[in-house]
Amino acid sequence: MKMTFAKRVIAIAAAGMLSAGSAMAQDKAASLDELLKMVKDARVAESADQRKREADFRRQKANQQALLNQAKQTKANEEARSVRLEKNYEENEVAVDQKRQQLQERLGSLKELFGHLTSAAGDLRSNVETSLVSAQYGERAAFLDDLIEKMNSADQLPTIEEIEQLWYEVQRETIEGGKVVKFTGTVIKPNGDKADQDVVRIGTFNLVSDGQYLSFKEGKLEELPRQPTEYLSQAKALESAAPGTFSKVGIDPTGPSGGSYLGALINSPSIVERWHQGQLVGYIITGVGVFAMLLAIFRLIVLTGVSAKVSAQLKSDKANTNNPLGRVLKVAEDNPNLDGETLELKLEEAVLKEKPAIESGLQLLKIISAVAPLLGLLGTVTGMIVTFQAITIFGAGDPKAMAGGISGALVTTVLGLVVAIPTVLMHTLVNGRAQRVLHILDEQSAGIVAENVEAK
């Protein structure tokens, strides 16, 4: 009986300890009485916590009810305020319509005037954005912006002074377009540096400074990275010219509309740049051409010297071995007793010995003159292949890029012709000198043979 009661007490104590929390569960009872006391204390503590939670819940419930009542009151107040604002808005709309009607009645003919002023100010504003005059008078844009904003508003009107200022700006734009003036401005260099220097404005066409052409974009003066070199000296002379004097200078008549003529002139490749467009084949053609010219000049100098010595030999009675004719005559002098046929063969042999040295390089010049155009054609064909491959990959949407590739491909053809034509001319000239010397050798040989036959 005692064991059963003890088991029940232990079960109740265990349940009480589990519900009491981890702190009570860690304590160990030394006896059954102590265990019973611990269960009682746990129940008392649990009841106190429960009552405390119930009190907190009632307080929170009361607070939530108060907040709900406050929100309902706020909603009612805002709805009443919305009704008042809607009524006020409707009243204001009626008042605004009345004021607008009153404004239109009082404006009368001024309404048409303000329309013209707005149009004139807008047109002038668009011109001022790109006009080179704004590089000198940059404050005009701000004035025009304020004036346009004021005339487009419903509650402001331009003053007489502002209308007169608009008329003044229109006249100043026209007058300044015919002037060449100098002013100080901040110029941005191609490397990004800024410098305050004198700027010469040529009407509304071009700006020059320190001998360089400038561009005017977004209110900034920028030095062009590429310059029209043929006009830079004229621009420098214009800057140093005295007031009232005339100075020749190149200007772009399309300057205010974007400077398309000057841009095309600047972007046109130079001779060196076009030469580089020929790439490897172009370099080969150039090397062959240089070699051909040097060879032709060298042979021309040599043949000129030989021709001079041959001419001197013609005037001398004694054979001199420093020239082809002298060496041929020396053969005749060394064999005075030969018969005509043998002497003729000896002289022909001597002339044949001299012929390779006289005609040296002529065959090479002839080959170069024929091969140079073929090399040019080779470069053109390979360039066209590359161009059409690019068109296949990227399409033909940009005609300028396609035309640029074809233009670069044709450079080698030009180089080939540039090499071939002078080479042909030099070959003709050198060959003429060589044939003149050979003709003299043949003539003198025939004369010696004839004299030998007559003597026998």
pLDDT digits over 34-86, tens only? 777 777 677 667 777 777 888 888 888 888 888 888 999 999 999 999 999 99
Q: What is the pLDDT of residue 397?
A: 60
| Mean predicted lDDT score pLDDT of the chain | 81
| Residue 327 near residue 350 (C-beta atoms within 8 A) | yes
Q: What is the pLDDT of residue 3?
A: 43
- pLDDT (average), residues 127-134: 85
Q: What is the pLDDT of residue 107?
A: 64
Instruction: Compute the distance between CA of residue 298 and CA of residue 173 in angstroms, rounded to an integer.
Output: 66
Most confident by average pLDDT, 13-17, 270-274, 308-312, 425-429? 425-429
Which phi and psi angles does 183 have, rounded to 5°? -145, 170
Bigger pLDDT: 297 vs 444 = 297
Side chain identity at residue 443, one-letter code:
E
Token pair of 189 as six digits:
């260099």
Q: What is the pLDDT of residue 156?
A: 75
SS3 228: coil
Q: Is the pLDDT of residue 227 over 60?
A: yes
The answer to whether the Cα torsion of 407, 409, 412, 417 is positive or negative is negative
Most confident by average pLDDT, 17-26, 48-57, 145-154, 231-240? 231-240
pLDDT for 139-148, tens place per residue? 888 888 888 8
Least confident range from 30-34, 149-153, 239-243, 374-378: namely 30-34
Q: Is the pLDDT of residue 23 over 50?
A: no
Q: Is the pLDDT of residue 119 over 50?
A: yes
Least confident range from 112-126, 240-254, 401-415, 436-450: namely 401-415
Radius of gyration from C-alpha coordinates of the chain: 54
The full set of domain ranges for the chain reads 2-60, 113-259, 276-455
Kindly list the distances between the CA atom of residue 163 and the CA atoms of 122, 137, 154, 416, in Å, as whole numbers in the listed order. Answer: 13, 19, 17, 68
Q: End-to-end CA distance of the chain, in Å? A: 181
Kindly list the distances between the CA atom of residue 345 and the CA atoms of 338, 339, 349, 351, 441, in Å, as whole numbers in the listed order. Answer: 10, 10, 6, 10, 14
Instruction: Compute the distance between CA of residue 90 and CA of residue 88 in angstroms, rounded to an integer.
Output: 5
Q: With bands split at pLDDT 50, 70 and 90, how would you rate the model's confidence at 102?
A: confident
The H or E element that residue 183 is part of is: strand 180-188
Most confident by average pLDDT, 88-92, 322-326, 342-346, 403-407? 88-92
Q: Is the pLDDT of residue 26 over 50?
A: no
Least confident range from 69-78, 212-221, 259-268, 367-376: namely 259-268
DSSP 203: T
Q: What is the pLDDT of residue 321?
A: 82
Instruction: Compute the distance between CA of residue 25 and CA of residue 226 in angstroms, rounded to an integer.
Output: 92
Q: Is the pLDDT of residue 401 over 80?
A: no
Which phi and psi angles does 194 have, rounded to 5°? -115, 145
The C-alpha angle 84, 87, 91, rounded to 5 degrees, equals 135
List beta partners, residue 221. 187, 216
- pLDDT (average), residues 85-98: 89
Comparing CA positions, the residue from 367, 371, 361 lying closest to residue 284 is 371
Q: Is the pLDDT of residue 298 over 90?
A: yes
Q: What is the pLDDT of residue 316?
A: 80
The number of CA neighbours under 13 Å toward the Cβ of 321 is 6
Q: With bands split at pLDDT 50, 70 and 90, how would you rate the model's confidence at 106?
A: low
The number of CA neighbours under 13 Å toward the Cβ of 3 is 0
Q: What is the pLDDT of residue 399?
A: 64
Instruction: Compute the distance between CA of residue 161 and CA of residue 318 in angstroms, rounded to an integer.
Output: 108
- pLDDT (average), residues 363-377: 92
Q: With bands split at pLDDT 50, 70 and 90, how would you rate the model's confidence at 24?
A: very low
pTM across the whole model: 0.53
CA 144 to chain centre: 33
Instruction: Calculate the dihedral angle through the C-alpha atoms of 119, 120, 126, 127, rounding to the nearest 10 degrees.
Output: 160
Q: Is the pLDDT of residue 186 over 50?
A: yes
Q: Is the pLDDT of residue 320 over 70?
A: yes
Most confident by average pLDDT, 110-119, 312-321, 331-340? 312-321
pLDDT for 402-452, tens place per residue? 666 677 788 889 999 999 999 999 999 999 999 998 898 888 888 888 877
Q: Is the pLDDT of residue 13 over 60?
A: no
Q: Is the pLDDT of residue 134 over 90?
A: no
Instruction: Compute the distance between CA of residue 191 and CA of residue 214 in angstroms, rounded to an integer.
Output: 14
Least confident range from 156-160, 235-239, 452-456: namely 452-456
Bridging pattern class, strands 194-202 and 220-223: unpaired
State the burial class of residue 177 (Cβ atoms within 10 Å of its Cβ: 0-12, 13-18, 19+).
Answer: middle
Bigger pLDDT: 50 vs 108 = 50
- pLDDT (average), residues 227-240: 85
